[in-house]
Structure 1
Amino acid sequence: MDWRPWLTRWSEEWIGCTAPDELDPDVVRDGWLGFAPASPEAVAAAEERLGTGLPPSYREFLLTTDGWRDAGCFVSRMSDTSTLDWVRDLEPYWQDWEEPDDEEGDAEGGPISRGLLISLEADAGILFLDPGDVDESGEWAAYSLFSWLAEPPTRFPSFIALMESLYAEFHEMRRPEGATRDSWEAQVEEARRHALAGDIDAAEPVLAKAEDFGLSRATVLRAQILLLIGRTYEAEQLLGRLLHPSFTPDGFFADPLFAEEFLPLLFAEHARSSSPGHNSILQSALIGDPPELQLIIAEHQARLRRGAARATYGNPEFDDLVHAALERHATDPDALWRAVGEALPRWRPRSTDHIAPVALLTHPVLADTLTPERGRALLSQPRGDHR
């Protein structure tokens, strides 16, 4: 990691999306969330006091900036060489979060008990490094732990990976403009094209990473892939997220992708999973009475009550072939999916971010017989405007 350029960009983006009166005057003056570099002597003194050498990436970080402000949105200050110390000595109550299995066979306990505390001020949480979990490069595993998450500590393979996660968290929550966001938007568009060309293995990891940076378009695209390859629980979590007012992309509810593909699927999920004590995705989304979503749901319900036209699975050329396949092969799953696969070259997206025929899953026979292998085979075919 070449720390200085990356941390400079982080500083510029943070300052650019924060009101001046919320920033430390030194940050405004210097354009820098960090501090002066630690001297090699200060790092060596900290290592001697701690009784151990520091992992390479963290050591270089301190030699770039002796501490850091605003690491993500919940850590306002990171430790410097003078404040570094062990969790067990500075904030021993966090050891109560230790998992029993972590303590077995280790005289120093688990990751928290033996951890090096690297956060100084945080919102009911800590960041720490684990000297008992070292890779071949000498990097220590890194952890974040926040009590309000009510979850075990989150492990990262290194200090660099932890910082990258905190940077992504900042982007997800604050959505600063600039080169980073521009780059991710370009990568999401490239992933969309890969997906339409049949290369979902290239598209899906990029979209997952873009989601970490708060790009809701990546969530729209990735949900479609996950639905067809059988990762239904993950996909439904993404759909629920897209219905949240703080995350819903502009114009999403008016997009035919939502009205004609996702919404019928959500109604099917509601019929399947709603029960006393358990909300469907739609029921959860309606908490708080979001007016735009209420209206589009009411319109869909009205069409269902009127016995509106038959369900559609896409553009007319593809839709007719799917209906014909259902009429001929409803009791023969293999023949049915061969026919759907043969029809796929006729499929066209309903809108720009439509990359997969997820409406197929609204038909119970198609949904019951869609294996992850069949879904992957469909997505591996070039389709739509993949050129």
Structure 2
Amino acid sequence: MDWKPWLSRWSAEWIQSSEPADLDPQVLRDRWLGFAPASEEAVAAAEARLGLPLPPSYRDFLLTTDGWRDAGSFVWRMRDTATLGWLRDIEPYWEGWEELSEEEPAESNKFSRGLLISLEADAGILFLDPGDVDESGEWAAYSLFSWMAEPPTRFASFTALMESLYAEFHQMRRPEGETRDSWDAKVEQARLDALAGDADAASAVLAQAEEFGRDRATILLVQLDLLLGREYQASQSFSRLLHQAPEGFFADPLFTEEFLPWLFAEHARSATNYRHSVLQTAMIGERPEIQLAIGEGQARLRRDGPNFGEPAFDQLVRKALDDHAGDADALWRAVRAAMEHWRPRNADHIAPVALLADPALASTLTPERGRALLTRPRGDR
């Protein structure tokens, strides 16, 4: 990591997305969330006090800025060379989390040996683990927030931890600027790659873009996940999307004709007295736009049945259902042949999600068959 330009961009985006009254006057003046660089002597003194050389990426970070403000939305201040210390000495009560982590001897547990690098946070900590070192000398890094009720999240290095915190900042605040524009361009290329049949490469890019709060990435990624049989991941992503959907999303044919029929089918399969479906979760609270879309979608499905897309494709799928009822293999072959006539409903449509709303088609489309549909060029690609 070349820390200075990257942290400068982070600083500029944070300041641009904040109210001036909420910022430290020094940050406003210097346009910098950090501090002066630590000297080599200060870093060496910290290493001597700790009894270990610091990992390379963290050492370079301190030589760029001795501390940091606003590392994401829930860490308000990071430690400097003078305040670095062992987690067991500074905040020993976190050692109770050892019982919730992987089974390992207490004397070698990461909570007992961790280096605390956060100073002020929202009921959480950031720490480095000197007992988990890779071939380049990097220590594993962890974030843990008690209110998340989740185990600590591991990162391969301090750099990876900071990249995650930066993505979290973008997901929460969605600042304008170079980073947002760069991810939007990558999302568009991933859409083209997906239509060309490269589902895996597209999925990898879209998953990263989703971490940066790009809603279009979620809309595209959910389609790929559903066809690949990753319904849990799709449900989690789509639940988040429904609570921050782009304007006009609930009236878009991609939602009304593709996603909504799948939501009805998912509800029929999974809703119980102990578990909400995605649809039930979306309806919690005052959500008139969702309730209206759901009511209209139910009425449309009762009246017309599912619509599978472009007329030629829709007719072929309906014919396949009539001709091959009870013969899953024949139904699959007919649907695969019909894909030649599949076309996107709009610029964000990359996969035939509507097929999954029909129970016979859903049972026929195994993850392997879904992949077969996604790895062939579609639409006009």
Instruction: Indicate the TM-score class for this superposition, using the shorter chain for normalisation.
Output: over 0.9
CA deviations 1:163-211 (Å, max 9, x no partner) are: 0000000000000000000000000000000001111011000000000
Question: Judging changes above 3 Å, is the alpha-carbon distance between structure 1 residues 363 and 70 closer, same or farther for their aligned structure 2 residues?
Answer: same
Kept after mapping to 1: 8 A contact 2:227/2:367: yes
CA distance in 2, matches of 1:100, 1:126: 16
1:301 deviates by 2.5
CA deviations 1:225-267 (Å, max 9, x no partner) are: 01001111111122222211xx212211011000001101111
CA distance in 2, matches of 1:294, 1:372: 31
Q: Which residue of 2 aligns with 1:112?
A: 111
CA deviations 1:89-144 (Å, max 9, x no partner) are: 0000011111366563463x311110000001101000000000000000000000
Q: Which residue of 2 aligns with 1:180?
A: 179
Q: Which residue of 2 aligns with 1:128?
A: 127
Q: Which residue of 1 aligns with 2:155?
A: 156
- Unaligned 5+ residue runs, structure 2? none
Q: Which residue of 2 aligns with 1:285?
A: 282
Which of residues 327, 340, 344 in structure 1 aligns to 2:335?
340
Give the secondary-structure state (helix, strand or coil) at the position aligned to 2:129. Answer: strand
AA at the equivalent of 1:84: L
Which of residues 343, 362, 365 in structure 2 aligns to 1:367?
362
2:348 is the alignment partner of 1:349:
no
1:64-103 matches, cutoff 5 A: 64-99=64-99, 102=102
Kept after mapping to 2: 8 A contact 1:139/1:159: yes
CA distance in 1, matches of 2:45, 2:305: 75
Which of residues 245, 263, 282 in structure 2 aligns to 1:248?
245
CA distance in 2, matches of 1:192, 1:100: 40
AA at the equivalent of 1:211: E
Question: Judging changes above 3 Å, is the alpha-carbon distance between structure 1 residues 57 and 317 closer, same or farther for their aligned structure 2 residues?
Answer: same
CA distance in 2, matches of 1:302, 1:379: 31
Deviates more, 1:126-135 or 1:286-295: 286-295
Kept after mapping to 2: 8 A contact 1:192/1:355: yes
1:287 deviates by 0.9
Give the secondary-structure state (helix, strand or coil) at the position aligned to 2:131. Answer: strand
1:223-242 matches, cutoff 5 A: 223-242=222-241
Deviates more, 1:320-329 or 1:353-362: 320-329
Which of residues 313, 322, 340 in structure 1 aligns to 2:317?
322
CA distance in 1, matches of 2:74, 2:219: 27
Q: Which residue of 2 aligns with 1:57?
A: 57
Instruction: Please give the root-mean-square deviation of Cα atoms over the aligned residues, in Å.
Output: 1.2
Deviates more, 1:82-91 or 1:320-329: 320-329
TM-score normalized by structure 2?
A: 0.98
Deviates more, 1:207-216 or 1:92-101: 92-101
AA at the equivalent of 1:202: A
CA distance in 2, matches of 1:184, 1:301: 36
CA distance in 1, matches of 2:338, 2:209: 32
Question: Judging changes above 3 Å, is the alpha-carbon distance between structure 1 residues 171 and 44 closer, same or farther for their aligned structure 2 residues?
Answer: same
Give the secondary-structure state (helix, strand or coil) at the position aligned to 2:272. Answer: coil
- Unaligned 5+ residue runs, structure 1? none
Q: Which residue of 1 aligns with 2:299?
A: 302
2:24 is the alignment partner of 1:24:
yes
Aligned length: 381
Kept after mapping to 2: 8 A contact 1:99/1:110: no
Question: Judging changes above 3 Å, is the alpha-carbon distance between structure 1 residues 113 and 336 closer, same or farther for their aligned structure 2 residues?
Answer: same
Question: Judging changes above 3 Å, is the alpha-carbon distance between structure 1 residues 29 and 153 closer, same or farther for their aligned structure 2 residues?
Answer: same
Q: Which residue of 2 aligns with 1:165?
A: 164
TM-score normalized by structure 1?
A: 0.96
CA distance in 2, matches of 1:190, 1:165: 23
AA at the equivalent of 1:231: R
AA at the equivalent of 1:350: R
Kept after mapping to 2: 8 A contact 1:102/1:111: no
Give the percent of matched residue pairs that are identical in Structure 1 and Structure 2. Answer: 70
CA distance in 2, matches of 1:76, 1:167: 13
AA at the equivalent of 1:27: V
CA distance in 2, matches of 1:198, 1:103: 42
